[in-house]
Chain A
Amino acid sequence: MRALADLYRRLDETTSTNRKIAAMVDYFQHAPAEDAIWTINFLIGRKPRQVVPTRKLMQWAAEQSGVPDWLFEACYDVVGDLAETITLLLPAATDTSERRLHAWVEAHLLPLSNMELEDRRDEILNAWNQMDEPQRFVWNKLITGGFRVGVSRRLVVRALERFSGIDAAVITHRLMGEWPITAETYQKILAADTRDADISRPYPFYLAYPLEDDPGKLGGVDNWQVEWKWDGIRGQVIKRNSQVFIWSRGEELVTDKYPELMHDAAALPNGTVLDGEILPWKEDRPLPFAELQRRIGRKKVGKKLLSEVPVVFIVYDVLEFSSQDIREQTLQRRRNILSQVMSTYPAMRLIISPVVTRLTWEMFNKLRQESRQRGVEGFMLKRLDSVYRVGRRRGDWWKWKVDPLTVDAVLIYAQRGHGRRAGLFTDYTFAVRQGKELVPFAKAYSGLSDAEIQQVDRFIQRNTLERFGPVRSVRPELVFEIAFEGIQPSKRHKSGVAVRFPRIARWRHDKKIEDADTIETLKALLSAP
C-alpha cells in the first residue's frame, strides 16, 4: 500500500509527462506482479464496486474526527473531494501496517460487500488506524470508487511499454475487455508472445478530432469517405467461437442489454469484429439520445422498453475478419470487406453506415445544415487510405459537426466544483426569461477560462441570495451565451425542454438580464432545422 501511495504522490507532484512515466516505471520495477496488476487496474480508471454507502462513510469519518455532521459537510464543500476530506479530518493513526496492496484489496476491501454494516465499519476504522495520510488517501479513493490521478490510460501504456519493451499497441489491446486481476494476467499483459487467447477481447477504438478548419484544406473530396455522424453509443460487436460479445466504448460488456443486437449478430461468421454505433431507431430514423438513456441504466430490459426503444447497430468498420486482425489494411479495403459481410449475412438490426457522396465540400456543407432534421450531429470524414489506429489521433478521421444552437441565459444557481476546480464555484445553472420570471433550463460546467472562473466565483461570493445545502442562488445579473447540440421536449424539466451537451460559449458582458432570451425563443428551437 505504501508503494502505491508513494506512486500516487509522485504522479500528483508533477505535471510533466516524462516525470510521470518515470515514476510509473520505477514503480513497476519494484512491484510484485500481484500488486502491479491492481495498480494498473486502478490507474486506467477501473473502479472497485462501491462497498460502503457514502452517507455511512461520511458519518463514520465525522465520528472518528470528533466533528459534527454539518461541519464535515462544510469541509467537504471546501475540499471538493470526499476521500481527501476524510483524510484531512481523521486523527493520527495509532498503528501501522506493512500489508501490501493486493492483500488490502483482496482480504479487506472486496470482502466488505458481503459483510454486515457494523463489521464494515470496524474493518474501515481498523484500516484507517493502520495508515499514514498518503496511504489513507489512496485507500479512501479505493473505497469511494474514484481513482483519478491525472494519468491517462495512454500514459500507463507508455510506462508499461518502456518498462517491458512490448509495443504500446499490443499492450493497449491486451488491456481491453475484462480480465481477472491476478499475477497471471499481469504476466500475460507483458508477455513477449503476442498470440492472445481471450475470445471476448475488443480492439481499442480509433477516435476522431473535431474539424476546426475549412474542409477544403483536407484536399479533394475523392480521398475521403464521408458518413453521417450518429449520436448513440459507440460500440463493438464481436462474434467468435459461436459467441456474441457487445462492448461499449467505456469498455463495458453490454451484450445482455441489447438482446435484439445479440440475436442478429449471431448470424455473423465466427472471427468477425465490427465497429459501430448503438442507436435507438424507429421507422427508419434515429430516436433522440434521451430515449436510449432509458435503456442504458437497466441491467435487464423489459418487453415494453424493447418495443418502445428498439435499437440498431450502425456499422462503421470491420476490424477482424476470418479471425484476422485487419486494422492495418486501408479503409477502402476494409469497407469492401464490410460490404461483402453485410450483404452475405443480412441482419435486420445491423445496418451499414451509408456513405454520403457529393462532388464538392461546398455541397457537403450545404447538406450538413440538414443534420438536425435527420437526427444526426453532422459528418464523419475518414481518409480512404487510412489504417484503423489506436486512440484519438489527428489527421485521418475528423468529426465535422453542425454548429451548435445557442441562447443567451442568466446565471441563477451555483455550486462548487470538484477535482482541479475544488472549492471554486464552477457548476452553474442557467435560466431564460418567462414573463417576469426566470426558468432554469440547463446546467453547464465548461467553457470559461480560469481567469473568468475566478471572476465569476468572486461575483457569486458577493452576490449569494440563499443557500440550499451546497447550492447557492445568485443575484441574477450575469448573462452567458449557452451552446448545445440538440433540444427535446421534456416533461421532467420545469422549462419543458432538455438540451444536449450544454456548455458556456462566452460571457456576454455586453448584455443585461433584460437582453437574455425568453422561453419562447428557446422552444422555437425545437423545430429548428
Chain B
Amino acid sequence: MINKHDCLQVTPNGLYCSEGDFYIDPWQPAKRAVITHAHADHARGGSHSYLCATESKAILQSRLGPDADIETLDYGQVLTINSVQLSLHPAGHILGSAQVKINAGGHISVVSGDYKTEFDPTCAPLEILQCHTFISESTFGLPIFKWPPPEHVLQDINAWWQRNCEQERTSILFAYALGKAQRILTGLDASIGPILTHGAVEKVNQSYREAGIRLPATQYVSSLEDRNVFKKALVIAPPSADNPAWMRRFSDRSRAFASGWMRIRGNRRRRSVDRGFVLSDHSDWNGLVQTIKATNAERIAITHGYATEMVRWLKEQGHQAEIVPTEYGDETEVDEHV
C-alpha cells in the first residue's frame, strides 16, 4: 500500500486497486488491466480484459491481437467500479497515452504512466491533475537531462538530411516505431526528398492516419525496386533495424538516432551513430519537477527511472516522497525505453 488512504497497492504484478479489482500496466496477465499507453513494456498481452483511452485502442489492438478484449474511455469520462471512480487523462506521451486518475472516497491518486510536457502535434497535451497522491515516472529524472526546443531539433534533423541529400547519401534515422517516429514525421521538410519507412513504423503510421493525425506521405522501404530513390531519402526505422541484414541495402549512408539518451555523448558513441538528436517523449528533469509540483500532491511516489535520486531530491525539497519498484524498462535498457 502506498499509504493508508490509498486505494492502490504495490504487488509483485504491479500497481493494483483492490476496491476496483484492476491492475495498472501489469507485467503478468491479470483479470483487468488498465493500460496507460501501448508501448510494449506497459501493454503486455494475456490479460482477460483491457481498458484504455479511446485514441489508444487501434494501436493496442494491433499490438495485442484481434482477440484481446479492449474497452475504452474518452479522456475525462468517469467509470465507477464499486466505490472507486476511474478516469483517463492525456499524458502527452504518444497518441492515446493516459494518466489514470482514481478517486476513492475523495482521496485522489494519479498514476502518470509515461508523460511529457513538450508540445507534440500527434497527441493531446499533458493535463495537470490536482491530486493527493501522484505516482510519477522518472526515466530522465536527473538534472543533466534538459531537452533543447523540439523545433530546433527538427530543424537540425532537416539540415542533416539536406546535407546528406546533396552528397547522395541515405539518411537513416533510428527512432521508436510508436510515437517518436510519427512525431518526427510531422516535423520533416518533405520538399528535401522522399521519406521511407521500416515496416514496423509504417504499420503504426497507418493507425495514426486512421486516427486523423496528418502525416506526410511515406513509402515502405522493402516495397521499393529502384534503389536510386535511396540516395536522397530519409529512412525512419526502429533501433532494432540497425543490423547488417537490414542495412545492407543502403550503400552510402549516414546513421542517426533520436532519443533523450542522446543527450549523453557516451550513449551516442556507443551506438557509433553519426548524429544523436535529443528528442524524447518523456519529460526532462524540469518537466518532471514542474509537473510533480503542479499536482500539489501531498505524497509523491516515483517509479521507473532514476527513482532513488528523484526521491532523495524531492525529500530535500520538503516533499513526502517514496520509491515504487516496477519492472518497466530501467535506466540501462536504452533500447526498449527511448
Interface residues of A (CB under 8 A from B): 12-15, 65, 67-68, 70-71, 74-75, 78-81, 84-85, 88-89, 150, 419-424, 450, 457-458, 461
Contact partners of A71 in chain B: CB under 8 A: 142-143, 309, 312-313
Which listed residue (B263, B265, B275) contacts A81, Cβ 8 A? B265
Binds A, one of B52-60, B170-178, B234-242, B266-274: B266-274
Contact partners of B267 in chain A: CB under 8 A: 422-423
> Which of B143, B266, B269, B312 gathers the greatest number of chain A CB atoms within 10 Å?
B266
* B224 interface hit (Cβ, 8 Å): no
* B191 interface hit (Cβ, 8 Å): no
5 A-B pairs with the lowest CB-CB distances in the bound complex, closest first: A422-B266, A88-B144, A75-B144, A420-B269, A74-B309
Which listed residue (B142, B146, B274, B275) contacts A74, Cβ 8 A? B142
Q: In the complex, which residue of chain B has the Cβ closest to the Cβ of A425?
A: B332
Q: Say whether B143 contacts A75, CB under 8 Å.
A: yes
30 contacts between A and B (CB under 8 A): A12-B265, A12-B269, A15-B272, A15-B274, A67-B143, A68-B313, A71-B143, A71-B312, A71-B313, A75-B143, A78-B142, A78-B144, A78-B306, A79-B266, A80-B266, A84-B265, A85-B144, A88-B264, A89-B144, A150-B269, A419-B266, A419-B269, A420-B266, A421-B270, A422-B264, A422-B267, A423-B264, A423-B266, A423-B267, A424-B332
Q: Say whether A420 contacts B270, CB under 8 Å.
A: yes
> Which of B142, B306, B313, B330 gathers the greatest number of chain A CB atoms within 10 Å?
B142
Q: In the complex, which residue of chain B has the Cβ closest to the Cβ of A12?
A: B265
Which listed residue (A74, A78, A461) contacts B264, Cβ 8 A? A78
Q: In the complex, which residue of chain B has the Cβ closest to the Cβ of A88?
A: B144
Contact partners of B146 in chain A: CB under 8 A: 88
Contact partners of B210 in chain A: CB under 8 A: none
Q: Say whether A79 contacts B144, CB under 8 Å.
A: yes
Within 8 A of A (CB), among B274-288: 274-275
B140 to chain A, nearest CB (A): 11
Contact partners of B274 in chain A: CB under 8 A: 13-15
Contact partners of B275 in chain A: CB under 8 A: 13
* B316 interface hit (Cβ, 8 Å): yes
Contact partners of B309 in chain A: CB under 8 A: 71, 74
A412 to chain B, nearest CB (A): 20
B257 to chain A, nearest CB (A): 12
Tell me, in angstroms, the Cα distance from A423 to B263 when the chains sit together.
13
Tell me, in angstroms, the Cα distance from A429 to B254 when the chains sit together.
38
Contact partners of B313 in chain A: CB under 8 A: 68, 71
Tell me, in angstroms, the Cα distance from A12 to B274 when the chains sit together.
8
A contacts with B: majority SS: helix
Q: In the complex, which residue of chain A has the Cβ closest to the Cβ of B255?
A: A15
Tell me, in angstroms, the Cα distance from A461 to B332 when the chains sit together.
9
Tell me, in angstroms, the Cα distance from A450 to B264 when the chains sit together.
18
Q: In the complex, which residue of chain B has the Cβ closest to the Cβ of A418?
A: B266
Contact partners of A423 in chain B: CB under 8 A: 264, 266-267, 332
A427 to chain B, nearest CB (A): 14
Which listed residue (B142, B330, B332) contacts A75, Cβ 8 A? B142
Q: In the complex, which residue of chain B has the Cβ closest to the Cβ of A419?
A: B266
B247 to chain A, nearest CB (A): 14
Tell me, in angstroms, the Cα distance from A15 to B273 when the chains sit together.
8
Tell me, in angstroms, the Cα distance from A78 to B263 when the chains sit together.
12
Contact partners of A457 in chain B: CB under 8 A: 332
Q: In the complex, which residue of chain B has the Cβ closest to the Cβ of A133?
A: B148
Tell me, in angstroms, the Cα distance from A288 to B312 when the chains sit together.
49
Besides the known contacts A79-B266, A84-B264, A457-B332, 20 further A-B residue pairs in the complex with CB atoms under 8 A apart:
A12-B269, A65-B143, A68-B316, A71-B143, A71-B313, A74-B306, A74-B309, A75-B142, A80-B266, A84-B265, A88-B144, A88-B263, A89-B144, A419-B269, A420-B266, A420-B270, A421-B266, A423-B264, A461-B330, A461-B331
Tell me, in angstroms, the Cα distance from A341 to B313 when the chains sit together.
70
Contact partners of A68 in chain B: CB under 8 A: 313, 316
Contact partners of A420 in chain B: CB under 8 A: 266, 269-270
A135 to chain B, nearest CB (A): 15
Contact partners of A79 in chain B: CB under 8 A: 144, 264, 266
Tell me, in angstroms, the Cα distance from A85 to B263 when the chains sit together.
11
A511 to chain B, nearest CB (A): 25
Q: In the complex, which residue of chain B has the Cβ closest to the Cβ of A462?
A: B330
Contact partners of A85 in chain B: CB under 8 A: 144
Contact partners of B144 in chain A: CB under 8 A: 75, 78-79, 85, 88-89
Tell me, in angstroms, the Cα distance from A75 to B146 when the chains sit together.
13
B15 to chain A, nearest CB (A): 21
Contact partners of B306 in chain A: CB under 8 A: 74, 78
Contact partners of B143 in chain A: CB under 8 A: 65, 67, 71, 75, 89
Q: What 0/1 pattern do residues 6 to 26 of B give for CB contact below 8 A with A?
A: 000000000000000000000
Contact partners of A78 in chain B: CB under 8 A: 142, 144, 264, 306, 331
Contact partners of B269 in chain A: CB under 8 A: 12, 150, 419-420
A493 to chain B, nearest CB (A): 31
Tell me, in angstroms, the Cα distance from A301 to B333 when the chains sit together.
51
Tell me, in angstroms, the Cα distance from A259 to B272 when the chains sit together.
47
Q: What 0/1 pattern do residues 144 to 159 of B give for CB contact below 8 A with A?
A: 1010000000000000
> Which of B263, B265, B312 gathers the greatest number of chain A CB atoms within 10 Å?
B265
Q: What 0/1 pattern do residues 110 to 132 of B give for CB contact below 8 A with A?
A: 00000000000000000000000
Contact partners of A12 in chain B: CB under 8 A: 265, 269
Contact partners of A80 in chain B: CB under 8 A: 266
Contact partners of B142 in chain A: CB under 8 A: 71, 74-75, 78
Q: In the complex, which residue of chain A has the Cβ closest to the Cβ of B265?
A: A84
Tell me, in angstroms, the Cα distance from A70 to B275 when the chains sit together.
31
Contact partners of A458 in chain B: CB under 8 A: 332
Within 8 A of A (CB), among B285-322: 306, 309, 312-313, 316
A471 to chain B, nearest CB (A): 16
Tell me, in angstroms, the Cα distance from A461 to B333 when the chains sit together.
11
Contact partners of B263 in chain A: CB under 8 A: 88
Tell me, in angstroms, the Cα distance from A422 to B330 when the chains sit together.
16
Tell me, in angstroms, the Cα distance from A85 to B266 when the chains sit together.
11
Contact partners of A15 in chain B: CB under 8 A: 272, 274
B2 to chain A, nearest CB (A): 24
Q: In the complex, which residue of chain B has the Cβ closest to the Cβ of A84?
A: B265
Tell me, in angstroms, the Cα distance from A71 to B317 when the chains sit together.
13
> Which of A15, A71, A81 gathers the greatest number of chain B CB atoms within 10 Å?
A71
Tell me, in angstroms, the Cα distance from A421 to B270 when the chains sit together.
7
